[in-house]
Structure 1
Amino acid sequence: MPPIVSEEYKKKKKKEILAGALACFGKKGFQAATIDDIVACSGISKGAIYNYFKSKEEIYLELLNEQTESANARVAERISMFSSAEEKLEYLFDLYRDMNPFSQERKDRITVQLEFTLYSSRDENLNRILNERGKKFFLKLITDIMEGGQAAGEFRPDADPNHTAGLFWTFMDGAMLHSVINEEYPYKTIIDYVKSLVLKDLKQ
């Protein structure tokens, strides 16, 4: 009879696998990395990894969900402290501006994320999952702020919340990509400039 494994043990083992996988993806790239590479990085056997995950794609999706849910909870708590929609939108711009995209750890995370996004475009199921995740966690964050600002008379009523949300995340993805491939990219200056343009446009 196999030994009974506690839920605490399962959570701990899963976290160890995810940590090893993240290090592996950062070092080798998502597409190049194999389960054997994750075994080498994590020190956990292939059989144990397959007890928790069916594939490296499933591992990365779990990493994304874990990071996104915890980060969004912190951001939502912080945003709730601001009284105006303009302050909330400014906070989001400043949050990304103040991140350090040039640190090696940050570069690794950005590179893996962008690589996985491109990889998922060739897989209908992965593409659907990422699009649903984007709508739930990212687009809604901006559209809620936009709609609140319009209801309060802060932002012009004819501005489309979905377009503003799409613009915000398209720009942030692009700024992070350029920061990865060009260490001289004026990341903070450009984010400040785009912030001023967006806020000016919303209040016209």
Structure 2
Amino acid sequence: MPKGSEELTNARKEEIIDACAALYETMGFRDITIRDIGAKTSFTRTSIYNYFQTKEEIFLALLQREHELWISDLEELARREAPLSTEQFADALACTLEKRGCMLKLMSMNLYDMEGNSRLENLVSFKRSYAGALQAVTRCLEKFFPRMTAGSIQGFLYAFFPFLFGVYPYTSHTDKQLEAMEAAHVSYTQYSIHALVRPFVEKMLQGEWSNDVQ
């Protein structure tokens, strides 16, 4: 780690993560290199290795940041004073995810590569943020559905978080994928993240655990 203040170190990490995020908007995970990331920073490419050993560690840091931003929105949701109906809560929760397209893309497409090629300390740091997201959703459920039992909340989490891993592929298609589906006569409907998440949450809360949330 280079000499300097913690503030400078964090600023440089953020610059590296910002560069990675910008490239990921137009390039694939496997196509992006540390050289590409370094070219979009204000310091030398080799300096990146003072902060991240692999590109996967950079992407994992990006995913961690996305989770922390999501947690912030969830905490804001939990602070609402007015009660929310099941439909209103499902809408609000879906809105928090509408802004996290990058998070959902990384989770569905690149998680195993990122985790497998990152140092344990980086992986532990990410897992803390993931745990924080679980806890934040739990707090929201406890706030707006106080009749939900601990078992019901756990059941919701075990259904909701695996569901999130499939959201991106069902809401984002490449031109090649669309052409292939048309050629294979596969019917499909284009959904936004919000349009996919909201009914799922609503049905989950109105289904098996309906007696707990009324």
Superposition TM-score, scaled by structure 1 size:
0.70
Matches within 5 A, 1:55-134: 55-82=54-81, 84=83, 89-90=89-90, 91-96=92-97, 99=98, 106=101, 110-120=104-114, 129=124, 132-133=127-128
Letter in 1 for 2:14: K
Residues 1:63 and 1:158: Cα distance change in structure 2 (over 3 Å) = closer
2:159 maps to: 167
Q: Does the 8 A contact of 1:36 with 1:46 survive in 2? A: yes
The structural deviation recorded for 1:139 is 2.2
1:26 and 2:29 correspond: no
Q: Does the 8 A contact of 1:14 with 1:52 survive in 2? A: yes
Residues 1:114 and 1:44: Cα distance change in structure 2 (over 3 Å) = farther
Gaps in structure 1 of 5+ consecutive residues: none
2:191 alignment partner, one of 157, 164, 186: 186
Letter in 1 for 2:202: S
Letter in 2 for 1:65: Q
Q: Secondary structure at the match of 1:27?
A: coil
1:197 maps to: 203
Q: Could you tell me how far apart the structure 1 residues matched to 2:3 and 2:124 are?
A: 33
Letter in 2 for 1:136: A
Residues 1:11 and 1:100: Cα distance change in structure 2 (over 3 Å) = closer
The structural deviation recorded for 1:72 is 1.2
Residues 1:89 and 1:129: Cα distance change in structure 2 (over 3 Å) = farther
Q: Does the 8 A contact of 1:85 with 1:145 survive in 2? A: no
Q: Could you tell me how far apart the structure 1 residues matched to 2:196 and 2:71 are?
A: 24
Q: What's the % identity of the aligned pairs? A: 21
Q: Could you tell me how far apart the structure 1 residues matched to 2:8 and 2:117 are?
A: 33
The structural deviation recorded for 1:82 is 3.8
Name whichever structure is richer in helix by fraction: 1
Show CA shifts across 1:13-65 (max 9, x none).
33222211222333332233221121223353122211222221222222222
2:185 maps to: none
Gaps in structure 2 of 5+ consecutive residues: 179-187
Residues 1:124 and 1:112: Cα distance change in structure 2 (over 3 Å) = closer
Q: Does the 8 A contact of 1:25 with 1:112 survive in 2? A: no
Q: Could you tell me how far apart the structure 2 residues matched to 1:100 and 1:69 are?
A: 13
With 110-119 and 129-138 compared, the bigger mean Cα shift is at 129-138
Between 1 and 2, higher relative CO (CA 8 Å, sep ≥ 6) is seen in: 2
Q: Does the 8 A contact of 1:142 with 1:161 survive in 2? A: no
Q: Does the 8 A contact of 2:104 with 2:164 survive in 1? A: no
Letter in 1 for 2:190: Y
The structural deviation recorded for 1:193 is 2.6
1:138 alignment partner, one of 94, 108, 133: 133
Superposition TM-score, scaled by structure 2 size:
0.67
Count of matched residue positions in the alignment of Structure 1 and Structure 2: 192
Letter in 2 for 1:50: Y
The structural deviation recorded for 1:116 is 2.0
With 131-140 and 25-34 compared, the bigger mean Cα shift is at 131-140
The structural deviation recorded for 1:203 is 2.3
